[in-house]
Chains A and B, each alone.
Chain A
Protein backbone atom coordinates (compact mmCIF):
# COMPACT_ATOMS: atom_id res chain seq x y z
CA UNK A 1 0.00 0.00 0.00
CA UNK A 2 2.75 2.45 0.91
CA UNK A 3 4.70 2.25 -2.33
CA UNK A 4 1.70 3.74 -4.10
CA UNK A 5 2.21 6.95 -2.16
CA UNK A 6 5.93 7.16 -2.78
CA UNK A 7 5.56 9.20 -5.93
CA UNK A 8 2.74 11.47 -4.73
CA UNK A 9 4.91 12.34 -1.72
CA UNK A 10 7.81 13.30 -3.89
CA UNK A 11 5.40 15.28 -6.02
CA UNK A 12 4.17 17.15 -2.95
CA UNK A 13 7.68 17.94 -1.83
CA UNK A 14 8.78 19.14 -5.26
CA UNK A 15 5.72 21.19 -6.16
CA UNK A 16 4.84 22.91 -2.88
CA UNK A 17 7.52 25.60 -3.37
CA UNK A 18 6.05 26.30 -6.84
CA UNK A 19 2.71 27.49 -5.46
CA UNK A 20 3.82 30.95 -4.25
CA UNK A 21 5.70 31.49 -7.53
CA UNK A 22 2.65 30.61 -9.59
CA UNK A 23 0.53 32.88 -7.39
CA UNK A 24 2.92 35.83 -7.71
CA UNK A 25 3.29 35.42 -11.47
CA UNK A 26 -0.48 35.18 -11.88
CA UNK A 27 -1.04 38.48 -10.07
CA UNK A 28 1.73 40.28 -12.00
CA UNK A 29 0.74 38.93 -15.43
CA UNK A 30 -3.01 39.46 -15.06
CA UNK A 31 -2.39 42.90 -13.52
CA UNK A 32 -0.24 43.91 -16.48
CA UNK A 33 -2.68 42.33 -18.94
CA UNK A 34 -5.63 44.19 -17.41
CA UNK A 35 -3.76 47.49 -17.47
CA UNK A 36 -2.81 47.08 -21.14
CA UNK A 37 -6.18 45.61 -22.08
CA UNK A 38 -8.39 48.17 -20.38
CA UNK A 39 -6.29 51.38 -20.42
CA UNK A 40 -3.34 51.23 -22.77
CA UNK A 41 -4.78 49.47 -25.83
CA UNK A 42 -6.85 51.05 -28.61
CA UNK A 43 -10.41 50.24 -29.67
CA UNK A 44 -10.83 48.08 -32.78
CA UNK A 45 -11.51 49.68 -36.18
CA UNK A 46 -14.68 47.59 -36.56
CA UNK A 47 -15.72 46.40 -33.14
CA UNK A 48 -14.87 49.49 -31.10
CA UNK A 49 -14.47 48.97 -27.37
CA UNK A 50 -16.05 45.49 -27.39
CA UNK A 51 -12.71 44.12 -28.60
CA UNK A 52 -11.62 44.30 -24.94
CA UNK A 53 -13.86 41.29 -24.24
CA UNK A 54 -11.28 39.35 -26.26
CA UNK A 55 -8.77 39.70 -23.41
CA UNK A 56 -10.85 37.43 -21.17
CA UNK A 57 -12.79 35.45 -23.80
CA UNK A 58 -9.87 34.09 -25.83
CA UNK A 59 -7.62 33.07 -22.89
CA UNK A 60 -10.61 31.32 -21.26
CA UNK A 61 -11.35 29.38 -24.43
CA UNK A 62 -7.69 28.43 -24.86
CA UNK A 63 -7.42 27.27 -21.26
CA UNK A 64 -10.67 25.27 -21.53
CA UNK A 65 -9.16 23.32 -24.44
CA UNK A 66 -5.66 23.14 -22.91
CA UNK A 67 -7.06 21.85 -19.61
CA UNK A 68 -9.12 19.20 -21.40
CA UNK A 69 -6.08 18.03 -23.38
CA UNK A 70 -4.14 17.72 -20.13
CA UNK A 71 -6.99 15.75 -18.57
CA UNK A 72 -7.15 13.37 -21.53
CA UNK A 73 -3.39 12.74 -21.37
CA UNK A 74 -3.56 12.21 -17.60
CA UNK A 75 -6.54 9.86 -17.97
CA UNK A 76 -4.68 7.82 -20.60
CA UNK A 77 -1.59 7.55 -18.36
CA UNK A 78 -3.78 6.59 -15.41
CA UNK A 79 -5.56 3.95 -17.45
CA UNK A 80 -2.55 2.38 -19.13
CA UNK A 81 0.18 2.65 -16.50
CA UNK A 82 -2.11 2.76 -13.45
CA UNK A 83 -0.25 5.78 -12.14
CA UNK A 84 -2.26 7.10 -9.17
CA UNK A 85 -0.93 10.65 -9.58
CA UNK A 86 -2.26 10.79 -13.15
CA UNK A 87 -5.79 9.90 -12.02
CA UNK A 88 -5.61 12.54 -9.29
CA UNK A 89 -4.44 15.14 -11.82
CA UNK A 90 -7.33 14.42 -14.16
CA UNK A 91 -9.80 14.59 -11.28
CA UNK A 92 -8.32 17.86 -9.99
CA UNK A 93 -8.40 19.45 -13.47
CA UNK A 94 -12.09 18.98 -14.28
CA UNK A 95 -13.62 21.84 -12.24
CA UNK A 96 -10.89 24.24 -13.42
CA UNK A 97 -11.51 23.40 -17.06
CA UNK A 98 -15.27 23.62 -16.57
CA UNK A 99 -14.86 27.11 -15.07
CA UNK A 100 -12.77 28.28 -18.04
CA UNK A 101 -15.24 26.73 -20.48
CA UNK A 102 -18.16 28.47 -18.78
CA UNK A 103 -16.30 31.80 -18.94
CA UNK A 104 -15.54 31.33 -22.65
CA UNK A 105 -19.23 30.66 -23.36
CA UNK A 106 -20.48 33.48 -21.12
CA UNK A 107 -18.12 36.19 -22.38
CA UNK A 108 -18.59 35.00 -25.97
CA UNK A 109 -22.32 35.37 -25.56
CA UNK A 110 -21.97 38.94 -24.25
CA UNK A 111 -19.63 39.72 -27.13
CA UNK A 112 -21.92 38.16 -29.72
CA UNK A 113 -24.97 40.23 -28.81
CA UNK A 114 -23.60 43.69 -29.71
CA UNK A 115 -21.39 42.53 -32.62
CA UNK A 116 -23.24 39.69 -34.31
CA UNK A 117 -26.71 40.63 -33.13
CA UNK A 118 -27.35 37.47 -31.10
CA UNK A 119 -26.33 35.90 -27.78
CA UNK A 120 -26.19 32.43 -29.26
CA UNK A 121 -26.22 30.56 -32.58
CA UNK A 122 -25.89 26.86 -33.24
CA UNK A 123 -22.85 27.08 -35.49
CA UNK A 124 -20.09 24.47 -35.39
CA UNK A 125 -17.70 26.49 -33.17
CA UNK A 126 -20.23 27.47 -30.52
CA UNK A 127 -21.89 24.04 -30.47
CA UNK A 128 -18.61 22.13 -30.13
CA UNK A 129 -17.60 24.46 -27.28
CA UNK A 130 -20.91 23.72 -25.53
CA UNK A 131 -20.23 20.01 -25.99
CA UNK A 132 -16.86 20.54 -24.25
CA UNK A 133 -18.67 22.12 -21.29
CA UNK A 134 -21.03 19.11 -21.07
CA UNK A 135 -18.03 16.75 -21.24
CA UNK A 136 -16.58 18.50 -18.20
CA UNK A 137 -19.90 18.28 -16.34
CA UNK A 138 -20.32 14.64 -17.39
CA UNK A 139 -16.84 13.79 -16.11
CA UNK A 140 -17.51 15.40 -12.72
CA UNK A 141 -20.87 13.62 -12.39
CA UNK A 142 -19.47 10.24 -13.46
CA UNK A 143 -16.42 10.25 -11.19
CA UNK A 144 -18.71 10.59 -8.15
CA UNK A 145 -21.43 8.24 -9.41
CA UNK A 146 -19.85 5.02 -8.12
CA UNK A 147 -19.40 3.81 -4.54
CA UNK A 148 -16.00 2.44 -5.49
CA UNK A 149 -13.79 5.44 -6.43
CA UNK A 150 -11.66 3.17 -8.64
CA UNK A 151 -14.62 2.38 -10.88
CA UNK A 152 -15.66 6.01 -10.96
CA UNK A 153 -12.23 7.07 -12.19
CA UNK A 154 -12.21 4.25 -14.76
CA UNK A 155 -15.59 5.24 -16.21
CA UNK A 156 -14.77 8.96 -16.18
CA UNK A 157 -11.39 8.33 -17.87
CA UNK A 158 -13.13 6.56 -20.73
CA UNK A 159 -15.50 9.51 -21.14
CA UNK A 160 -12.58 11.98 -21.23
CA UNK A 161 -10.68 9.94 -23.81
CA UNK A 162 -13.74 9.54 -26.03
CA UNK A 163 -14.46 13.25 -25.74
CA UNK A 164 -10.89 14.21 -26.66
CA UNK A 165 -11.94 13.97 -30.30
CA UNK A 166 -13.89 17.18 -29.68
CA UNK A 167 -10.75 19.28 -29.10
CA UNK A 168 -9.49 19.27 -32.73
CA UNK A 169 -13.09 19.68 -33.85
CA UNK A 170 -13.36 22.92 -31.81
CA UNK A 171 -10.03 24.20 -33.12
CA UNK A 172 -10.72 23.53 -36.80
CA UNK A 173 -14.52 23.97 -36.86
CA UNK A 174 -14.10 27.52 -38.21
CA UNK A 175 -11.99 26.22 -41.12
CA UNK A 176 -13.95 23.08 -41.95
CA UNK A 177 -17.43 24.54 -42.01
CA UNK A 178 -19.16 27.86 -42.58
CA UNK A 179 -19.58 29.34 -39.13
CA UNK A 180 -20.73 32.68 -37.77
CA UNK A 181 -17.63 32.66 -35.59
CA UNK A 182 -14.62 34.09 -37.43
CA UNK A 183 -11.50 31.97 -38.15
CA UNK A 184 -8.48 31.92 -35.82
CA UNK A 185 -6.58 35.21 -35.33
CA UNK A 186 -3.50 34.17 -33.36
CA UNK A 187 -2.67 30.48 -33.87
CA UNK A 188 -2.80 30.21 -37.64
CA UNK A 189 -0.71 30.00 -40.80
CA UNK A 190 1.09 33.22 -41.68
CA UNK A 191 1.18 34.63 -38.15
CA UNK A 192 -1.34 36.52 -36.04
CA UNK A 193 -3.70 38.99 -37.68
CA UNK A 194 -3.95 41.13 -34.55
CA UNK A 195 -2.23 44.48 -34.17
CA UNK A 196 0.67 44.26 -31.65
CA UNK A 197 -1.08 46.82 -29.42
CA UNK A 198 -3.89 44.27 -28.95
CA UNK A 199 -1.77 41.12 -29.16
CA UNK A 200 0.32 42.05 -26.10
CA UNK A 201 -2.53 42.35 -23.59
CA UNK A 202 -4.00 39.15 -25.05
CA UNK A 203 -0.76 37.21 -24.60
CA UNK A 204 -0.18 38.60 -21.10
CA UNK A 205 -3.69 37.59 -20.05
CA UNK A 206 -3.22 34.15 -21.62
CA UNK A 207 0.05 33.66 -19.72
CA UNK A 208 -1.60 34.89 -16.53
CA UNK A 209 -4.46 32.41 -17.01
CA UNK A 210 -1.88 29.66 -17.54
CA UNK A 211 -0.06 30.43 -14.27
CA UNK A 212 -3.44 30.69 -12.53
CA UNK A 213 -4.24 27.22 -13.87
CA UNK A 214 -0.91 25.89 -12.53
CA UNK A 215 -1.60 27.54 -9.17
CA UNK A 216 -5.10 26.13 -8.73
CA UNK A 217 -4.27 22.74 -10.19
CA UNK A 218 -1.35 22.30 -7.73
CA UNK A 219 -3.58 23.24 -4.78
CA UNK A 220 -6.21 20.76 -5.98
CA UNK A 221 -3.74 17.92 -6.63
CA UNK A 222 -2.23 18.46 -3.17
CA UNK A 223 -5.75 18.20 -1.74
CA UNK A 224 -6.40 14.96 -3.64
CA UNK A 225 -3.11 13.48 -2.37
CA UNK A 226 -3.94 14.37 1.26
CA UNK A 227 -7.46 12.96 0.80
CA UNK A 228 -6.10 9.65 -0.46
CA UNK A 229 -3.85 9.48 2.61
CA UNK A 230 -6.89 10.16 4.79
CA UNK A 231 -8.74 7.32 3.05
CA UNK A 232 -5.77 4.99 3.63
CA UNK A 233 -5.69 5.78 7.36
CA UNK A 234 -9.46 5.24 7.68
CA UNK A 235 -9.04 1.94 5.86
CA UNK A 236 -6.40 0.84 8.39
CA UNK A 237 -8.64 1.88 11.27
CA UNK A 238 -11.56 -0.16 9.92
CA UNK A 239 -9.37 -3.18 9.38
CA UNK A 240 -7.92 -2.67 12.85
Chain B
Protein backbone atom coordinates (compact mmCIF):
# COMPACT_ATOMS: atom_id res chain seq x y z
CA UNK B 1 0.00 0.00 0.00
CA UNK B 2 2.75 2.37 0.96
CA UNK B 3 4.73 1.73 -2.22
CA UNK B 4 1.58 2.34 -4.25
CA UNK B 5 1.22 5.77 -2.68
CA UNK B 6 4.88 6.50 -3.25
CA UNK B 7 4.49 5.71 -6.95
CA UNK B 8 1.35 7.85 -7.16
CA UNK B 9 3.09 10.81 -5.55
CA UNK B 10 6.11 10.32 -7.77
CA UNK B 11 4.02 10.34 -10.96
CA UNK B 12 2.02 13.41 -9.89
CA UNK B 13 5.09 15.39 -8.83
CA UNK B 14 6.99 14.43 -11.98
CA UNK B 15 4.07 15.46 -14.22
CA UNK B 16 3.63 18.76 -12.38
CA UNK B 17 7.33 19.58 -12.73
CA UNK B 18 7.30 18.58 -16.37
CA UNK B 19 4.21 20.69 -17.06
CA UNK B 20 5.82 23.70 -15.40
CA UNK B 21 9.02 23.19 -17.39
CA UNK B 22 7.20 22.90 -20.71
CA UNK B 23 5.07 25.94 -19.86
CA UNK B 24 8.18 28.00 -19.15
CA UNK B 25 9.90 26.88 -22.33
CA UNK B 26 6.85 27.67 -24.46
CA UNK B 27 6.50 31.05 -22.76
CA UNK B 28 10.16 31.84 -23.40
CA UNK B 29 9.92 30.87 -27.07
CA UNK B 30 6.58 32.55 -27.71
CA UNK B 31 8.20 34.76 -30.31
CA UNK B 32 9.49 31.81 -32.29
CA UNK B 33 6.25 29.85 -32.07
CA UNK B 34 4.29 32.79 -33.45
CA UNK B 35 3.58 31.86 -37.04
CA UNK B 36 3.06 35.41 -38.28
CA UNK B 37 3.29 39.05 -37.17
CA UNK B 38 0.51 41.62 -37.41
CA UNK B 39 0.82 44.92 -39.33
CA UNK B 40 0.76 46.79 -36.00
CA UNK B 41 3.80 44.84 -34.79
CA UNK B 42 5.59 45.34 -38.11
CA UNK B 43 5.01 49.10 -38.12
CA UNK B 44 6.51 49.47 -34.64
CA UNK B 45 9.97 51.07 -34.63
CA UNK B 46 11.48 48.19 -32.70
CA UNK B 47 10.62 45.65 -35.41
CA UNK B 48 13.72 44.26 -37.16
CA UNK B 49 13.07 44.55 -40.87
CA UNK B 50 16.15 42.92 -42.38
CA UNK B 51 14.95 39.36 -41.94
CA UNK B 52 12.45 37.11 -43.62
CA UNK B 53 9.20 36.84 -41.70
CA UNK B 54 5.50 36.18 -42.09
CA UNK B 55 2.92 38.93 -42.11
CA UNK B 56 -0.69 38.05 -41.30
CA UNK B 57 -4.00 39.91 -41.30
CA UNK B 58 -6.90 40.70 -43.60
CA UNK B 59 -6.67 41.74 -47.23
CA UNK B 60 -7.82 45.37 -47.11
CA UNK B 61 -11.09 46.02 -48.94
CA UNK B 62 -10.53 47.70 -52.30
CA UNK B 63 -6.74 47.41 -52.13
CA UNK B 64 -6.16 44.50 -54.54
CA UNK B 65 -4.63 45.58 -57.85
CA UNK B 66 -3.82 42.91 -60.42
CA UNK B 67 -1.44 43.83 -63.23
CA UNK B 68 -3.08 42.99 -66.57
CA UNK B 69 -1.68 39.93 -68.34
CA UNK B 70 0.70 38.93 -65.52
CA UNK B 71 0.44 37.14 -62.19
CA UNK B 72 1.73 40.23 -60.40
CA UNK B 73 -0.55 41.55 -57.69
CA UNK B 74 -0.39 44.22 -55.03
CA UNK B 75 -2.63 44.70 -52.00
CA UNK B 76 -2.53 45.83 -48.38
CA UNK B 77 -2.62 43.60 -45.31
CA UNK B 78 -4.45 45.16 -42.38
CA UNK B 79 -5.35 44.31 -38.80
CA UNK B 80 -7.95 47.12 -38.91
CA UNK B 81 -5.57 49.37 -36.96
CA UNK B 82 -2.45 49.49 -39.15
CA UNK B 83 -1.74 48.19 -42.64
CA UNK B 84 1.28 47.22 -44.74
CA UNK B 85 1.52 47.33 -48.57
CA UNK B 86 2.38 43.99 -50.18
CA UNK B 87 3.49 42.91 -53.65
CA UNK B 88 3.44 39.33 -54.86
CA UNK B 89 4.24 37.51 -58.09
CA UNK B 90 2.60 34.12 -58.35
CA UNK B 91 -0.61 32.12 -58.15
CA UNK B 92 -2.89 33.08 -55.27
CA UNK B 93 -4.81 30.42 -53.29
CA UNK B 94 -8.52 29.93 -54.10
CA UNK B 95 -9.64 31.58 -50.88
CA UNK B 96 -7.68 34.79 -51.53
CA UNK B 97 -10.08 37.72 -51.72
CA UNK B 98 -10.66 41.10 -50.17
CA UNK B 99 -11.66 40.97 -46.53
CA UNK B 100 -10.23 37.45 -46.24
CA UNK B 101 -7.51 36.38 -43.81
CA UNK B 102 -4.07 35.94 -45.36
CA UNK B 103 -0.52 35.07 -44.29
CA UNK B 104 2.35 36.22 -46.54
CA UNK B 105 6.00 35.23 -46.19
CA UNK B 106 8.74 37.54 -47.44
CA UNK B 107 10.83 40.62 -46.62
CA UNK B 108 10.29 44.33 -46.15
CA UNK B 109 11.96 46.38 -48.88
CA UNK B 110 11.65 50.16 -48.54
CA UNK B 111 8.44 49.87 -46.56
CA UNK B 112 6.84 47.46 -49.02
CA UNK B 113 6.45 43.82 -48.07
CA UNK B 114 7.69 41.69 -50.97
CA UNK B 115 5.97 38.34 -50.55
CA UNK B 116 7.42 35.08 -51.83
CA UNK B 117 4.48 32.99 -50.68
CA UNK B 118 0.88 33.91 -49.92
CA UNK B 119 -1.34 31.56 -47.90
CA UNK B 120 -5.04 32.07 -47.26
CA UNK B 121 -6.36 31.81 -43.73
CA UNK B 122 -10.03 31.21 -43.11
CA UNK B 123 -12.12 31.63 -39.98
CA UNK B 124 -13.82 28.98 -37.86
CA UNK B 125 -17.35 29.66 -39.18
CA UNK B 126 -18.96 27.12 -41.48
CA UNK B 127 -22.34 27.74 -43.14
CA UNK B 128 -24.11 27.32 -46.47
CA UNK B 129 -23.93 30.31 -48.88
CA UNK B 130 -27.65 31.09 -48.39
CA UNK B 131 -27.16 31.41 -44.63
CA UNK B 132 -24.20 33.73 -45.17
CA UNK B 133 -26.32 35.83 -47.54
CA UNK B 134 -29.24 36.13 -45.13
CA UNK B 135 -26.87 36.98 -42.26
CA UNK B 136 -25.41 39.77 -44.36
CA UNK B 137 -28.89 40.97 -45.42
CA UNK B 138 -30.21 41.10 -41.86
CA UNK B 139 -27.14 42.93 -40.56
CA UNK B 140 -26.26 40.10 -38.17
CA UNK B 141 -23.00 39.58 -40.06
CA UNK B 142 -21.54 42.86 -38.79
CA UNK B 143 -22.70 42.03 -35.29
CA UNK B 144 -20.89 38.72 -35.52
CA UNK B 145 -17.67 40.20 -36.80
CA UNK B 146 -17.89 42.92 -34.12
CA UNK B 147 -17.91 40.29 -31.36
CA UNK B 148 -15.06 38.52 -33.05
CA UNK B 149 -13.01 41.71 -33.18
CA UNK B 150 -13.62 42.18 -29.47
CA UNK B 151 -12.43 38.65 -28.82
CA UNK B 152 -9.23 39.54 -30.61
CA UNK B 153 -9.74 37.21 -33.51
CA UNK B 154 -9.00 39.83 -36.11
CA UNK B 155 -5.29 39.23 -36.30
CA UNK B 156 -6.10 35.56 -36.49
CA UNK B 157 -7.87 36.02 -39.77
CA UNK B 158 -11.52 36.71 -39.01
CA UNK B 159 -13.41 37.93 -42.04
CA UNK B 160 -14.45 41.54 -42.51
Contact = CB atoms under 8 A, between A and B. Distances in A.
Interface string B3-24: 0100110010011001100100
B118 A117 contact: yes
B95 A115 contact: yes
Nearest to A184: B124
A117 B92 contact: yes
Contact of B103 (A115, A180, A184): A180
B22 A115 contact: no
Contact of B128 (A42, A124, A177, A179): A42
B122 interface: yes
Main secondary structure of the interface of A (DSSP, over half): loop
Contact of A80 (B7, B19, B117, B126): B7
Interface in B96-130: 96, 100, 103, 117-130
A165 B18 contact: yes
Nearest to B121: A180
B157 to A, nearest CB: 7
Main secondary structure of the interface of B (DSSP, over half): mixed
A178 B53 CA distance: 13
A76 to B, nearest CB: 6
A142 interface: no
B157 A182 contact: yes
Contact of A161 (B11, B35, B133): B11
A46 B95 contact: yes
A51 B100 CA distance: 17
Contact of A193 (B11, B92, B120, B126): B126
B50 interface: no
A197 interface: yes
26 contacts: A45-B131, A45-B132, A47-B126, A79-B11, A80-B4, A114-B93, A115-B94, A117-B95, A161-B11, A164-B15, A177-B34, A177-B35, A178-B34, A178-B156, A179-B156, A180-B35, A180-B36, A182-B121, A182-B157, A185-B126, A188-B124, A193-B126, A194-B125, A194-B127, A195-B127, A198-B127
Interface of A: 42-47, 51, 54, 76, 79-82, 114-118, 121-124, 161-162, 164-165, 169, 174, 176-180, 182-185, 188, 193-195, 197-198
